[in-house]
Amino acid sequence: MIFRWSTILAYCAVATRCDNRATSAYFQQKLAALSTSYLQLLIQLGSLPGHPKVIINRYYDPFGSDISCVVQRGLTAAKIRTLTTWLTALNQVLAKGAAQAGFQSAQPSFAGHQLCSLQPYVQGLGAAAPFHPTALGQLAIALADQNALAQVAAPGSSAGHQSGR
């Protein structure tokens, strides 16, 4: 289940526009393929013995409102808006699938720590793994997961109720 979000980001940075028909079609194709693989994975996870608790991580917002550090690298405000729209679509697929399968969905927050901040939770464009989380970003993701698990474990919480399980 490989989506290659970083490939889409890299292409968008070098393209004149990344909201053209070809790029939009490529994104939609990748999203459809992910949706199919994701559904198959959710079915497999749901059929495991003991019905394990599963948390699906949605993608964090790597950009925020300050994009000054990426503009000179080709990511304009218009391109960031397109990428943010696509990121929202990706997160909707992840959240909807998790909910339909009876699993939790965690949304890590990098608010105040996006790419161009003083202490980003996202690796920069020159890093070995651009747009991937830093160690602090990984901690923020783990904390979002811990919060989702706590909601499942809370007595009387409807968030953790999984009917038929």
pLDDT tens digits along 63-85: 989 999 988 888 999 999 999 99
In a domain, 77, yes or no: yes
Mean pLDDT, to the nearest integer, of 24-45? 94
Please write down the HEC assignment for all residues of 67-85.
Answer: CHHHHCCCCCHHHHHHHHH
Give the model's confidence band at 164: pLDDT under 50 very low, under 70 low, under 90 confident, else very high.
Answer: very low
What's residue 156's pLDDT?
Answer: 57
Q: Is 55 strand, coil or helix?
A: strand
Range of the domain at 116: 5-152
In a domain, 160, yes or no: no
Based on the structure, what is the number of domains in the chain?
Answer: 1
Q: What percent of the chain has pLDDT over 90?
A: 62
In a domain, 25, yes or no: yes
CATH code of 18's domain: 3.40.50.1110
Q: Is the pLDDT confidence value at 160 over 50?
A: no
Q: Which of 2, 6, 3 is nearest to 115 (CA)?
A: 6
Dihedral of the alpha carbons of 12, 78, 26, 110, in degrees to the nearest 10: 80
**Cα–Cα separations (whole angstroms), residue 56 to 25, 41, 84, 93:** 26, 11, 19, 11
pLDDT in tens, 89-138: 999 999 999 999 999 999 999 999 999 999 999 998 888 888 899 999 99
What's residue 1's pLDDT?
Answer: 57
In a domain, 157, yes or no: no
CA distance 97 to 42: 7
